[in-house]
């Protein structure tokens, strides 16, 4: 897929998303109020409307006016996969921090990301996994008295 088509799809997608928020999202999530001069949903509608119109214009521009018809789209399944892995690691770490505590979650995320980055020496992984969370915990909890989860 070329960059032109990819960006046209992004523009169309944004436009459809904006339309959905305009039709269903704003009525559902913005509480009405008849006793104010400017309705609470005006600013959200202005922003969503502008995004929708600009998305549609971007789509039309890429389809009919964009002269670059050869550059490939920046879609690399491997990169998307890696991004999802890192996000999953952060999600697990946040869950661990909220349920078990900062130190466990911290050791998990630094250790896991060090392995993800390519470190295979066990003592280096251990050092990177343990030292930063311990230092941060010591700095905030012990030195400054600011509680961490």
Partner 1 sequence: MLDTVITAFSDALTVQTLVLIVAGVFIGQFFGAIPGLSALTAIAIAVPLTYYFTPVGALAFLVSINKGGTVGGSVSAILMNTPGTPEAAATAFDGHPLAKQGKGLKALKMALFSSVTGDTLSDFVLFAVSAPLALIAIRMGPTEMLAVIVFALTIIASLVGKSMFKGLIAAFLGLLLATVGLDPEGGTSRFIFGMPDLMDGLPISAVGIGVLAMAEVLRQLIVLRGAAGDSHLPLSSERPEDKRLSWAEYRACLRTILRSAAIGTGIGALPGIGSSAAAFIGYNAAIRASKHPETFGKGNIEGVAATESANSSVVGANFIPLLSLGIPGNVAAALILGAFIVHGIQPGPHLMQEQGRLVYAMFAAMVIANGTNLLLGYFGLRIFALAARAPALVVFPTIGLVCLTGAFLTSGTFGLPLVVGFAVIGYLMRALGFSFVTFIIGFVLGPSFELSFRQTVILADGDLGYLVDRPIAMVIFALSAFALSRTIWRHVSTSGKPVTP
Question: Where along the sequence are the contacts to partner 1 (CB under 8 A)?
Answer: 10-11, 14, 29-33, 35-38, 40-41, 43-44, 46-48, 50-51, 54-55, 57-58, 61, 65-68, 74, 79, 82-83, 86-87, 90-91, 93-94, 97-98, 102, 105-106, 109-111, 113-114, 116-119, 128, 132-133, 136, 140, 144, 146, 148-149
Element holding 63 (H helix, E strand): helix 42-64
Q: Which residues contact 116 (CB under 8 A, 6 or more apart)?
A: 85, 86, 89
Q: Which residues contact 117 (CB under 8 A, 6 or more apart)?
A: none
Choice between 23 and 43, CB closer to partner 1: 43
Instruction: Report, in Å, the least distance between residue 120 CB and partner 1.
Output: 10
Choice between 40 and 72, CB closer to partner 1: 40
Locate 43 and state its tokens: 């600013």
Choice between 19 and 86, CB closer to partner 1: 86
SS3 41: coil
Instruction: Report, in Å, the least distance between residue 142 CB and partner 1.
Output: 14
Choice between 1 and 36, CB closer to partner 1: 36
Classify residue 73 by burial, with Cβ atoms within 10 Å: 0-12, 13-18, 19+.
middle
Instruction: Report, in Å, the least distance between residue 19 CB and partner 1.
Output: 14
Instruction: Report, in Å, the least distance between residue 136 CB and partner 1.
Output: 5
User: In this structure, what DSSP letter does residue 103 have?
Assistant: H
Locate 1 and state its tokens: 């897929």
Cα 64 to Cα 26: distance, rounded to the nearest angstrom: 32
Instruction: Report, in Å, the least distance between residue 149 CB and partner 1.
Output: 6
């Amino acid at each position: 897929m070329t960059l032109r088509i990819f960006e046209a799809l992004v523009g169309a997608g944004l436009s459809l998303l904006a339309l959905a928020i305009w039709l269903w999202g704003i009525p559902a999530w913005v509480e009405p109020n008849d006793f104010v001069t400017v309705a609470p949903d005006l600013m959200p509608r202005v922003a969503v409307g502008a995004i929708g119109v600009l998305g549609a214009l971007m789509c039309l521009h890429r389809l009919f006016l964009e002269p670059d018809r050869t550059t490939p789209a920046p879609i690399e399944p491997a990169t998307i996969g890696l991004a999802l892995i890192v996000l999953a690691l952060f999600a697990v770490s946040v869950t661990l921090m909220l349920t078990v505590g900062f130190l466990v979650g911290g050791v998990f995320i630094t250790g896991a990301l060090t392995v993800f980055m390519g470190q295979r020496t066990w003592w280096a992984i251990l050092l990177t996994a343990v030292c930063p969370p311990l230092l941060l915990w010591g700095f905030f909890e012990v030195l400054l008295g600011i509680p961490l989860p």
